Structure 1
């Protein structure tokens, strides 16, 4: 099955979190040693907000719901870098004339 591409752009309030996979060994007197774990030890996680009309948010909601947190997809982050991500959760709030969708995109490494 071919991987789909997420084509909608988030609002400017998007937030990126980077947490490298690191093992830390603590020694006496507050000394420590750090070592990176794995080949792909630095992953990005993005908290995204989309404030759009009903029809656009319905399309985004349908796309994310169809993937169900299992199927990964391509997404280009605000810096122009294409990532393979999954969306573990998203929420939709309705307002008069528009909706707001919040989603968390987590970078994954797959073949």
Structure 2
């Protein structure tokens, strides 16, 4: 089964972080060697902000609840490459009668799901 795509666009106040995980082997005299930890050792974490009307917020909430923080989905930030993410943390704030600000954390995952 094909992965679903998260199609909603975040606000420009969103941010991200890329982290490379490495093994560091320290030897005497300050010498060390570094090696990537695993095949996919560079991953992104995105702190996204969405400004949505009530109907769109309900659609986003339904999408994220259906994935339950465990099922990956595809997402592309600003037209970049599509990558697989999970979201197990999102926080809506009602700003006005028909306006929600939603903060969500997308964590890149590496799976064999297509």
Same fold (TM over 0.5): yes
- The equivalent of 1:5 in structure 2 is 5
- The equivalent of 2:16 in structure 1 is 16
Give the CA deviation at 1:82.
0.3
- The equivalent of 1:47 in structure 2 is 47
| Cα contact 1:77–1:83 (8 A) shared by 2 | no
Paired residues in the alignment total 111
What secondary structure, in the 3-state scheme, does the structure 2 residue paired with 1:43 have?
Answer: strand
1:75 maps onto 2:75 in alignment: yes
- The equivalent of 1:110 in structure 2 is 111
CA–CA distance in structure 1, aligned partners of residues 30 and 100 of structure 2: 50
What secondary structure, in the 3-state scheme, does the structure 1 residue paired with 2:63 have?
Answer: helix
Give the CA deviation at 1:28.
4.7
CA–CA distance in structure 2, aligned partners of residues 12 and 91 of structure 1: 17
Q: Structure 1: state its 5+ residue gaps.
A: none
> Superposed, which structure 2 residues align to 1:78-93 within 5 Å?
78-93=78-93
Structure 1 runs (4+) deviating above 6 angstroms are none
TM-score, with length taken from structure 2: 0.88
CA–CA distance in structure 2, aligned partners of residues 58 and 31 of structure 1: 55
CA–CA distance in structure 1, aligned partners of residues 89 and 13 of structure 2: 18
Q: Structure 2: state its 5+ residue gaps.
A: none
Greater alpha carbon shift after TM alignment, 52-61 vs 29-38: 29-38
